[in-house]
Amino acid sequence: MNRNVKRTVLICCGPGCLSNQGMDVYEEFKTKILISGLDVDLRSAVETENACVTDTLHPGIKTDLETMVSPAVKATGCQGLCEMGPLVRIEPDSIFYTKVKVSDVTEIIEKTLMENRVVERLLYKDPVQGRKVRAREEAEFYKSQLKVALRNVGEIDPESLDDYIERDGYRALKIVLSQKTSEDVLSEIEKSGLRGRGGAGFPTGRKWRQCARTGNYPKYVICNGDEGDPGAFMDRSIMEGDPHSVIEGMIIGAYAVGSHEGFMYIRDEYFLAIQNMTKALEQARREGFLGKNILGSGFDFDIQIVRGGGAFVCGESTALMASIEGKVGEPRAKYIRSVEKGLWGKPTVLNNVETWANVPVIINKGADWFCSIGTERSKGTKVFSLVGKVRNTGLIEVPMGVTLRRIIFDIGGGIAGGRKFKAVQTGGPSGGCIPESLLDLKVDFDTLDEAGSMMGSGGMIVMDDRTCMVDVARYYLNFLSEESCGKCVPCREGIRRMLEILNDICEGRGRQGDIELLAELGETVREASLCGLGKTAPNPVLTTIKYFKDEYLAHIEDKTCPAGVCKNLTTYYIDKTLCKSCGLCKKNCPSEAIEEKLEGYFINLLKCIKCGSCMNACRFGAVKILAGIMRKL
Amino acid sequence: MVITIDGIKCQAHKGEYILDIAKRNNIHIPTLCHSDALPGQGNCRLCIVEVIEKGRKKVVTSCIFPVTGEIEVVTNSEKIRGIRKTLIRLLSARAPKNEYIDKLRQEYNIPPETRFKTDDNENCILCGLCVRACEEMGIYAISTVNRGITKKVSTPFDEASDVCIGCGVCAYVCPTSAIKVLDEGGKRHLWNKTFELMKCVKCGEYITTREHFEYIRKKIAAEGTEIIEPLCDKCKKKTLGENMAQTYK
């Protein structure tokens, strides 16, 4: 290794890795490297041949003077493969370690940093290729991805402005302020075809131009960081891992529309995002990227953080503005758009975190470059949080137009536990469930809409055959019944009644005509609701009825839950013809309900708590669900 | 500007709301959360209509939809009637025994609710008019509390409000008479608070709460108008008449 190249140890401290002691691994690296003596910059020591210094060092160092350059240790934002965290990367050697424990740190330092050897057991085993890979670029999970909005997330220390600047940070801002008029910026963003990443996919350039056109002042720009979908962490990862890209995007946007005041609305639960963002804002102010007379251009702009109280509905733009104004977070009708009358009745541009993070790249690389990625009507890339029953859960970014199959089976590595794919839920709680027959759908704003789902902000939850689709619909409706603001009748009362029906169906009280009634209520909620939350709330119900009607019928007519989820409707039994008497089911049963008799294994229904552990454990598919009892009776 | 509502040509100003134009032209659109004295809210959604603009149809809320171009409005299409029927069914499931809601249900030929769990004591449909009126009075004593299906109207922490003046405007605007103002024995009970009622200085009839009267007196004093006396409506008219008679004598 070239001794002039500085090594960097990048430890993922994204949300997933943090919860697996990522921060402890980072601290351990810092301390152990200090003790090992690797922390001393040895270049000077070697050059001056100062024997005293080298003598005091760890014995391992002496053997290979070429590697003796102090490695930088960095805690980065989310590196993506959350399933395998904590992740550690050593650059520029391109070594990628997964599931690193505090106890592994010494070994990594001694073997990899000192002796240039790879710790084989910590390498990532790619489930698709079935082999261990050394560099993360070799893994299927990373191969199909293209990082634009996430370009710095997981690559830099989010608390370091220098790290951001090193990777072209604030270059776009300098170009804009010194060489471009606001008209130039507007037309560049329009030309890029960038659409809002928060859900609705409204063309960003058009929104900005409408706001720029109004002669009413002051104008405001807002960043929506109120991500509240269950299982989504895209915006969070950007705010935590690369806060400056959002700030830079906002300054450019403000310059284009003529605003001097910005707000960043972040939900209060995102503690780290608020902390990193606050720090980044201070740094930006200190360096003259924010405040009066930015970079000597005469343009003034500053941003303040507003902490949201954790209401899902405050992710809706008008409710968010009401919340900033200090009012109850309820939406208003958008017959008069926010670009004309938004925050405090003034023209306002509101964009999602990911949208803002895309802006500096578009300026740097040009609209033509951005346009070359994606589909005809959806340009660029999209960040998804890929969760649920896939092998590789994590944060991904792919070009628009990649198929769902590629996302789930290549990047996601297929279904966990070798089970069968059933559905993928996109777009957060008010998105829809997409069945296997539509897996080759090219993911973009319009195709997902046509399938009855939506892009949303990018949540993607994969479900296997042990998922009950009625129960899924019930779960989302339950969430929405609590998170609807309750202002308008169709959303509040409609969701409540739909949930009531779904509860009945799941608990065995489903009636004839319930499916039709759900569809009728869904239609009214969709058509008559005031805001986007209500208009999309019936999606989980309507799509599951559309694609999985059989399951509804099984619940209502046969009083059976085919997936074995709804406890009232599930009776397990062991199919004697398939049972190999291996006893795994008995071993896994938490309630000692499985008994071994001469003829084989049996489930004692009096003891069975219907958890499904036996079914999950059986490798021969011998544990089955009794179907159609009601019909037989 | 001229717009068409159900085939009738109607004069309209830019920015006017469809509901107001329809009312002026005697075209009936049902509403619950609308009061002519307050800005439109768009909460009950009963006033939805279909707007056809440049050949494209969309469902809008007529009480808050401002007219900006020469549009065609249909207030009673099959689609609108269908949605309205479902909305009334939902309202009726919420407040099944409420007189006004029940009348509406019968008007739209909806059978009494049997599928859903109902609460016979519920009268509030959460239209929000009371909160809006209280705000407009400048009192801010009540607000909607909680979200989603647990939403309700109340004072902060359900306690007797410091600022409530017991004027009863909330009850006055309520379309379903869900808010009850209880006056007995010279006392008024409203929102967990008991108020003392003031008597008319002439006839001794109870007029309103002391807080309400003081509130009005202060407002009027701030405007520089003559100080008023606590009089009931009848005595007020009588005094006015007497004054007038005196003047022309």
**Together in a domain, A294 and A410:** no
Q: Is residue B123 part of a domain?
A: no
Judged by DSSP in three states, A143 sits in helix
Q: Which residue on chain A is closest to B15 by alpha carbon?
A: A336
Average pLDDT, integer, range A593-602: 87
Nearest residue, CB atoms, A493 vs list B61, B90, B144: B90
Q: What band does A452 get if pLDDT is binned at 50, 70 and 90?
A: confident
Query: Testing the interface with B: which of A316, A341, A488 to mutate, by most B Cβ within 10 A?
Result: A488
Nearest residue, CB atoms, A494 vs list B59, B90, B151: B90
pLDDT at A51: 39
- Secondary structure element (H or E) that encloses residue A61, with its range: helix A59-63
**Residue at a domain's end among A350, A372, A394:** A372
Average pLDDT, integer, range A146-175: 94
For chain B, say whether A311 makes contact (Cβ under 8 Å): yes
Which stretches within B64-110 are classed as H helix? 78-94, 99-107
pLDDT at A229: 86
**Closest Cα of chain B to A350: distance in Å?**
22
Contacts of A311 in chain B (CB under 8 A): 147
**Together in a domain, A461 and A497:** yes
**Residue-number span of the structural domain to which A264 is assigned:** 161-372
* Whether the predicted pLDDT of A182 surpasses 90: yes
Q: Is residue A215 part of a domain?
A: yes
* Whether the predicted pLDDT of A40 surpasses 80: no
In the block, which residue shows the tokens 């539509």?
A438
Nearest to A240 by CA among A393, A386, A79, A9: A79
Q: Is residue A144 part of a domain?
A: no
Would you list the DSSP string of B35-63?
-TTS-----S-TTEEEEEETTEEEEEETT
pLDDT at A61: 42
Token pair recorded at residue A69:
């350059």
Q: Is residue B182 part of a domain?
A: yes
* Whether the predicted pLDDT of A1 surpasses 90: no
Token pair recorded at residue A268:
């209060």
CA atoms within 13 A on the CB side of A205: 16
Q: Which residue on chain B is closest to A496 by alpha carbon?
A: B149
pLDDT at A67: 43
Which stretches within A198-286 are classed as H helix? 204-213, 234-241, 243-257, 271-286
**Together in a domain, A208 and A329:** yes
For chain B, say whether A137 makes contact (Cβ under 8 Å): no
* Whether the predicted pLDDT of A49 surpasses 70: no
Q: What are phi and psi of A137, to 5 degrees?
A: -65, -20
**Closest Cα of chain A to B231: distance in Å?**
38
**Closest Cα of chain A to B77: distance in Å?**
14
Nearest to A264 by CA among A297, A238, A232: A238
pLDDT at A66: 44
Would you list the DSSP string of A302-347?
EEEEEEE-S-GGGGSHHHHHHHHTTS------TTS-TTTS-GGGS-
What CATH number does the domain containing A575 carry?
3.30.70.20
CA distance A365 to B74: 50
Nearest residue, CB atoms, B91 vs list A333, A489, A517: A489
DSSP class of B125: -
Q: Is residue B188 part of a domain?
A: yes
Where are any strands of DSSP class E within chain B? 2-5, 8-11, 48-53, 56-61, 72-74, 143-145, 152-154, 182-184, 187-190, 193-199, 206-209
**Together in a domain, A354 and A335:** yes
List residues in chain B touching A: CB distance below 8 A. Answer: 42-46, 48, 59-61, 64-66, 79, 82-83, 86-87, 90-91, 93-94, 115-117, 125-126, 128, 143-144, 146-151
**Together in a domain, A191 and A312:** yes
Average pLDDT, integer, range A521-535: 93
Nearest residue, CB atoms, A492 vs list B42, B116, B126: B126
What CATH number does the domain containing B30 carry?
3.10.20.740
Q: Is residue A60 part of a domain?
A: no
In the block, which residue shows the tokens 């998922």?
A467
**Together in a domain, A454 and A594:** no
For chain B, say whether A364 makes contact (Cβ under 8 Å): no
**Closest Cα of chain A to B127: distance in Å?**
8
For chain B, say whether A313 makes contact (Cβ under 8 Å): yes
**Residue at a domain's end among B76, B99, B116:** B76
pLDDT at A174: 95
Q: Is residue A148 part of a domain?
A: no
Residues 6+ apart with CB under 8 A from A554: A560, A561, A562, A627
Q: Is residue B185 part of a domain?
A: yes
Contacts of B59 in chain A (CB under 8 A): 527-528
Would you list the DSSP string of A472-497?
HHHHHHHHHHHHS---SHIIIIIHHH
For chain B, say whether A500 makes contact (Cβ under 8 Å): yes
CA end-to-end span of chain B, whole Å?
Answer: 51
Q: What band does A50 get if pLDDT is binned at 50, 70 and 90?
A: very low
What count of CB pairs under 8 Å joins A to B? 104
**Closest Cα of chain A to B89: distance in Å?**
10
Q: Is residue B115 part of a domain?
A: no
Judged by DSSP in three states, A43 sits in helix
Nearest residue, CB atoms, B148 vs list A335, A481, A523: A481
For chain B, say whether A477 makes contact (Cβ under 8 Å): no
* Whether the predicted pLDDT of A598 surpasses 60: yes
Q: Which residue on chain A is closest to B83 by alpha carbon?
A: A524
Would you list the DSSP string of A373-438?
SB-SSSBSEEEEEEEESBSS-EEEEEETT-BHHIIIIIIS-SBGGG--EEEEEESGGGS-EEEGGG
Please list the ranges in chain B whose pLDDT falls under 70.
227
pLDDT at B73: 96
Considering only residues A43 and A165, tell me which one the structure prediction assigns the higher pLDDT: A165
Strand B2-5 to strand A8-12: parallel, antiparallel, or no bridges (unpaired)? unpaired
For chain B, say whether A524 makes contact (Cβ under 8 Å): yes
Nearest to A544 by CA among A534, A559, A535, A554: A554
Is residue A591 within 8 Å of A607, Cβ to Cβ?
A: yes
**Together in a domain, B221 and B139:** yes
pLDDT digits (tens, 9 = 90+) for A103-127: 999 999 888 888 888 999 999 999 8
Q: Is residue B52 part of a domain?
A: yes
pLDDT at A39: 54
Asked if B149 lies within 8 A of A530 by C-beta distance, the reply is: no
Asked if A524 lies within 8 A of B83 by C-beta distance, the reply is: yes
For chain B, say whether A483 makes contact (Cβ under 8 Å): yes
**Together in a domain, B133 and B33:** no
Nearest residue, CB atoms, A311 vs list B82, B116, B147: B147
Judged by DSSP in three states, B65 sits in coil
Asked if A528 lies within 8 A of B149 by C-beta distance, the reply is: no
Query: Testing the interface with B: which of A323, A524, A530 to mutate, by most B Cβ within 10 A?
Result: A524
pLDDT digits (tens, 9 = 90+) for A190-244: 999 999 998 888 999 999 999 999 989 999 999 999 998 888 899 999 999 999 9
Q: Is A633 exposed, middle or buried (0-12, 13-18, 19+ CB in 10 A)?
A: exposed
Q: Is residue B117 part of a domain?
A: no
**Closest Cα of chain A to B203: distance in Å?**
44
> How many independent structural domains does chain B possess?
2
**Residue at a domain's end among A507, A523, A557:** A557
B93-125 in b/e form (b: 16+ CB < 10 A) is bbbbebebbbebbeebebeebeebebeeebbbb
**Closest Cα of chain B to A318: distance in Å?**
14
Measured from the Cβ of residue A328, the count of other Cβ atoms closer than 10 Å reads: 16
Residues 6+ apart with CB under 8 A from B89: B105, B110, B113
**Together in a domain, B144 and B233:** yes
Query: Testing the interface with B: which of A497, A505, A515, A533 to mutate, by most B Cβ within 10 A?
Result: A497
Asked if B148 lies within 8 A of A527 by C-beta distance, the reply is: no
pLDDT at A428: 83
CA distance B170 to A623: 61
pLDDT at A380: 95
**Together in a domain, B50 and B143:** no
Asked if A521 lies within 8 A of B94 by C-beta distance, the reply is: no
**Together in a domain, B157 and B232:** yes
Least confident segment among A250-254, A522-526, A558-562: A558-562
How far, in whole angstroms, is CA A172 from its chain's centroid?
26
**Together in a domain, A429 and A479:** yes
* Whether the predicted pLDDT of A77 surpasses 60: yes
Asked if A496 lies within 8 A of B149 by C-beta distance, the reply is: yes
**Residue-number span of the structural domain to which B27 is assigned:** 2-76
Q: Is residue A452 part of a domain?
A: yes
* Cis before A92? omega within 30: yes
Asked if A497 lies within 8 A of B93 by C-beta distance, the reply is: yes
DSSP class of A511: -
Average pLDDT, integer, range A319-347: 93
Measured from the Cβ of residue A354, the count of other Cβ atoms closer than 10 Å reads: 30
Asked if B90 lies within 8 A of A489 by C-beta distance, the reply is: yes
Average pLDDT, chain A: 89
What CATH number does the domain containing A532 carry?
3.10.20.600
CA distance A114 to A1: 11
**Closest Cα of chain B to A509: distance in Å?**
11
Q: Which residue on chain A is closest to B94 by alpha carbon?
A: A493
Asked if A497 lies within 8 A of B116 by C-beta distance, the reply is: yes
DSSP class of A595: E
DSSP class of A167: T
**Residue at a domain's end among B76, B91, B117:** B76
CA distance A224 to A239: 11
Token pair recorded at residue A505:
């169906």
CA distance B113 to B118: 8
pLDDT at A91: 87
Judged by DSSP in three states, A458 sits in coil
Nearest to A164 by CA among A373, A398, A360: A360
Is residue A364 within 8 Å of A171, Cβ to Cβ?
A: yes
> How many independent structural domains does chain A possess?
4
**Together in a domain, A412 and A452:** yes
**Together in a domain, A338 and A475:** no
pLDDT digits (tens, 9 = 90+) for A298-310: 999 999 999 998 8
pLDDT at A60: 43
Contacts of B60 in chain A (CB under 8 A): 335
Where are any strands of DSSP class E within A86-240? 88-91, 95-97, 124-126, 131-133, 220-225
Q: What are phi and psi of A8, to 5 degrees?
A: -130, 130
Considering only residues A411 and A630, tell me which one the structure prediction assigns the higher pLDDT: A411
**Together in a domain, B162 and B71:** no
Q: Is A105 exposed, middle or buried (0-12, 13-18, 19+ CB in 10 A)?
A: buried
CA atoms within 13 A on the CB side of A626: 17
Q: What strand order describes the sheet that includes B182-184? A: B182-184, B187-190, B193-199, B206-209
Is residue A381 within 8 Å of A397, Cβ to Cβ?
A: yes
* Whether the predicted pLDDT of A454 surpasses 60: yes
* Whether the predicted pLDDT of A280 surpasses 50: yes
**Together in a domain, B137 and B69:** no
Asked if A493 lies within 8 A of B44 by C-beta distance, the reply is: no
Q: Is residue A145 part of a domain?
A: no
Q: Is residue B167 part of a domain?
A: yes
**Closest Cα of chain B to A330: distance in Å?**
9
**Together in a domain, A368 and A385:** no
DSSP class of B227: P
Asked if A500 lies within 8 A of B116 by C-beta distance, the reply is: yes
* Whether the predicted pLDDT of A56 surpasses 70: no
**Together in a domain, A463 and A590:** no
Q: Is B59 exposed, middle or buried (0-12, 13-18, 19+ CB in 10 A)?
A: middle
* Whether the predicted pLDDT of A3 surpasses 80: no
pLDDT digits (tens, 9 = 90+) for A394-420: 999 999 999 999 999 999 999 988 889
CA distance B194 to B166: 8
Task: Please tell me the pTM assigned to this model.
Answer: 0.89
**Closest Cα of chain B to A165: distance in Å?**
43
pLDDT digits (tens, 9 = 90+) for A563-591: 888 988 888 899 889 998 898 999 999 99
Q: Is residue A1 part of a domain?
A: no
**Residue at a domain's end among A85, A101, A136:** A136
CA distance B67 to B60: 11
* Whether the predicted pLDDT of A55 surpasses 60: no
Judged by DSSP in three states, A121 sits in helix
Q: Which residue on chain B is closest to A484 by alpha carbon?
A: B148
- Secondary structure element (H or E) that encloses residue A107, with its range: helix A105-107
Asked if B44 lies within 8 A of A489 by C-beta distance, the reply is: yes
Nearest residue, CB atoms, A481 vs list B79, B87, B149: B149
How far, in whole angstroms, is CA B234 from its chain's centroid?
26
Q: What band does A328 get if pLDDT is binned at 50, 70 and 90?
A: confident
Q: Is residue A74 part of a domain?
A: yes
Question: From residue A87, how far is each of A75, A79, A81, A90, A113 by CA, in Å?
Answer: 10, 7, 8, 10, 16
Q: What band does A391 get if pLDDT is binned at 50, 70 and 90?
A: very high
Nearest to B25 by CA among B53, B51, B49, B2: B2
**Together in a domain, A435 and A365:** no
